[in-house]
Structure 1
């Protein structure tokens, strides 16, 4: 079977909802034992139930990726019984606003989850991966490399994710660790629906259509499409791929403007 992940253990942060849920289910369907690290345990357990019902393997750990001690404890628990083959740094939060609309509290909140959270997971997992190699995928964004209006703090954080990816790939290629990142444009998740509902009451259909059209292809991406790209990068079929950013954006980066 192509893209088999049989006998592999994968950590997916923020794996209980949205893109993270799709990645968790896709990796599990290909044979991986998926460790879902989530703040929201209810979401994680629902995803786990769906994986188990489909014959997959999954475990759930409550984890705040912004807390290094917590991450270290969770990773330590996992490595007592499993070798970590795959790390998906997916957990992240958003903020809308330019620099004048970004308070220090806003900035620190984004930094702590989107930047420090990725660092914390890398810091805990990489030493274990050095023994046998492994795969790391960081979830970046089109905002990592092109200007997106009113996304000052978010763009800062995703730019850092992009360059952390390059650093890990460079520093650990000799250990058999491959590190890449995925940069989605807008993806239709419950977060998007909630954002539109909260900020544009009564105009949901119009705003959904407007946001969809910002991708030249004319629609938002699907979580499963991002998950399929992640699956390829995790599999042995991508063994020659490292240190690369993979936009999945409906033409957003190259075809706009």
Structure 2
């Protein structure tokens, strides 16, 4: 007869352990009191309240994502800027992460068109500067609350050239729509040279054709275009978002 293992009972104590942002596994442990954690929760709540208050003042929002490293004059930067300008002239609000690169380009185009240009920045150890083409902005401490605000009200998402952060945001939006946690709206990938190897190579050939881990319906959520004008034409056919 197998000896039954005893189950240890744990109580919630006065402290909880969380890994710090730096240091080795042995060194990098801080102890936070429950009071500290409570204040963090209040801070998170405040970020959501303030973020939604900001979004309540805007309309016809389009979120543009992309790399901080895109330089002025480069094709990705100028195409995002052109799209921002097209959207601004048509009365849309452009929302970005508020930083440099593609984010700056999208905001800049909208700003030059005299439209609402929103920047939702993030506080980082190495400060990400807020670009100068913003009419309204809000800074976030937590990535997840910022990501919710970037996603919450957009009637289309445009993904330009980007790195790990952009791909993270791209996959999260796809997952939320795929699982019906979010209203289906266009997910537009701008720049065929960058996006086709990812969408056709990884999503279609690898995940769908070879491993069958996604469906044709999942692939249909993504639209790859090569110009700001093509992206704008898709957006013009959308309706203003009513629910998250």
Higher relative contact order (CA 8 A, sep 6+): 1
User: So what's the TM-score if we normalise by structure 1?
Assistant: 0.43
From the two aligned structures, give the one with the greater helix fraction. Answer: 1
Greater radius of gyration (CA)? 2
